[in-house]
Amino acid sequence: MRLISLRPDGALHRVWSAAEPGRFGGWWIPPGTPVEDDGGTWSSPYPVAAMAWPKAWFQVFVLLKPDRTDYYVNICTPPCLGADVVWMDLDLDVRVEAGCAWVADEDEFQDRSRMYPRAWRASAQQAVVVVQNAVRTGAHPFRPSFADALRAEWVLRSRPGGAVLG
The per-residue pLDDT for range 153-164, each reduced to its tens digit, is: 999 988 776 554
Mean predicted lDDT score pLDDT of the chain: 92
CB atoms within 10 A of CB 1: 14
pTM of full prediction above 0.95: no
pLDDT number for residue 163:
55
pLDDT of residue 107: 86
List the one residue out of 119, 130, 146, 3 whose CA is nearest residue 58: 130
Per CATH, the architecture of 3-153 is what?
Beta Barrel (2.40)
Burial 77-100, CB ≥16 within 10 A → b, else e: bbbeeeeebbbbbbbbbbebeeee
